[in-house]
Amino acid sequence: MSELLLNHLGGQWRPGTGAGTALFDPVLGHELVRVDATGLDLPAGFAFAREQGGAALRALTYRQRADMLGAIVKLLQANRDAYFEIATANSGTVKNDSAVDIDGAIYTLGIYAKLGAALGEQRFLLDGEPAALAKDGAFQSQHLQLPVRGLALFINAFNFPAWGLWEKAAPALLSGVPVVVKPATATAWLTQRMVKDVVDAGILPAGALSVVCGSSAGLLDTLQPFDVLSFTGSADTAALLRRHPAVAERSVRVNIEADSINSALLLEGEAPGSAAFELLVKEVVREMTVKSGQKCTAIRRVFVPQALYAATAEAVSARLAKTSVGNPRNETVRMGALVSRAQRAAVQQGLQALKAQTEVLHDGAAHALVDADPAVACCVGPSLLGTRDAAGSDAAGRVHDSEVFGPVATLVPYRDAAHALQLVRRGEGSLVASLYGSDDAALADAALELADCHGRVHVVSPAAGAVHSGHGNVMPQSLHGGPGRAGGGEELGGLRALNFYHRRAAVQAAPGVLARWARG
């Protein structure tokens, strides 16, 4: 039987009391490690985090907490090779895809270390200028932001076991809020290993960082009114969380990132082979294949003028045909596996549902696996579907409301600019839309039209073609989240991320009282 990973709770490493759930190599099929959270004393562990970890963090300044983030960056960099080995074994990702997760996590931590250092020796934040409440300013109101005196519980998704932890933990720890992370079971190994390395190095105060691997049973029941909850996963699970008494009755603040049917839109006025056309084609293929399409921000719908439908289908299919799929340990492989047999089955089921309303432009089944047994490996080739014509784009409802979380995208032709924007908005709120074109004015107008239903609008013109950060790459300086179907949450966005981990209050007093904070 494989190793049972320990949980860290109450300042101690603790095993579960059950047999554990096995984690498997999604390419080779063998068991790697087991996780189990049975029998943990969650109330005591959460209380320790709040009372010990939280108090110790709040006693530090933002600069001191930023220094801790900087120390974590150095530690993770020193152990980077081990993390890549775990990612290959447990997530089935090729090296470049593992880097999106691991190096992305380290980069995000580094950004928050710099942002925190700039906040200096404060322990709370002033929010705006004082406002006069009496004649001659003799009585004023000053808004403050103070760290919540609870803990932050993260229930994370399987696709980013490294970045998913640290993009949330970096602003939480910088804010002075202790973290309990519950990673998705299928890929929990990398999250647990990173937490173990940081805890064992003694960088953070006891109770500041905890990890629970295995079942999430009882976690929400243990939350108290001043705790915060962040969830990344399916809309169905998100709906259950919103109805839980912790949220519905105890007013635990919640941030949710759920399903997102993201779009790429090529504006009118382009021709096959133009710079904007080629930028779209390149980005669509990249987003379909990076991490085997298992990204919340991946392109799911590709909108092009009706006249460019055939040319786009041909160009994207030609690039996809060159994508080798299989064992990530083979240097010729460019796309690895889905994380599990269950995920593979879900992708195949979703693909069949979409095929009922579309045509197949590139068949993923045509890809022979490299160094992988199809009967064992959780690998699937990339599939491009299409809705044939503008009328089909309107009729294919599943394309606009069903996310297949794998290497699948649908090409959707439109009649005119108004029709294109209407179709994009049928996604009912997404994390990101990317726009491609050569006319700056048209790009700016389209971005404004779509910004209210997206967390991020990524505009790619030839001027930015060589330097843009990528449709699906979540940069810590920009907002991550989205309205409507995408969950209504907000993460990152530079120092905006700290808002979730602070409580705003107004202090009304004479200027002499308020001036004490301005001086210090």
What sign has the CA pseudo-torsion 126, 132, 137, 141?
A: negative
Q: Is 296 a catalytic residue?
A: yes
Please give the Cα distance from 232 to 238 (Å, whole number). 8
Longest dimension (CA), the chain: 79
Please give the Cα distance from 123 to 119 (Å, whole number). 9
DSSP-assigned letters across all residues of 377-399: ------EEEE--SHHHHHH-HHH
Please give the Cα distance from 118 to 479 (Å, whole number). 20
Q: At 202, phi and psi to the nearest 5?
A: 70, 25
The answer to whether 293 and 407 have CB atoms below 8 angstroms apart is: yes
Q: Which residues make Cβ contacts (< 8 Å) with residue 342, sequence separation at least 6?
A: none
The answer to whether 301 and 62 have CB atoms below 8 angstroms apart is: no
Q: Is 257 a catalytic residue?
A: yes
Nearest to 42 by CA among 231, 180, 154, 175: 180
Please give the Cα distance from 193 to 497 (Å, whole number). 25
Pairing of strands 430-436, 262-266: parallel
Q: How many other C-beta atoms can be found within 10 angstroms of the C-beta atom of residue 299?
A: 25
Pairing of strands 140-147, 3-4: unpaired
Please give the Cα distance from 48 to 196 (Å, whole number). 18
Q: How many other C-beta atoms can be found within 10 angstroms of the C-beta atom of residue 154?
A: 23
- Looking at 213, 296, 378, 379, which residue is catalytic? 296
Place of tokens 């990076």: 290
Pairing of strands 430-436, 454-460: parallel
Place of tokens 């470049």: 96
- Looking at 257, 283, 287, 491, which residue is catalytic? 257
What sign has the CA pseudo-torsion 289, 399, 344, 165?
A: positive
Nearest to 151 by CA among 219, 214, 213: 219
Which residues participate in catalysis according to the annotation? 257, 296
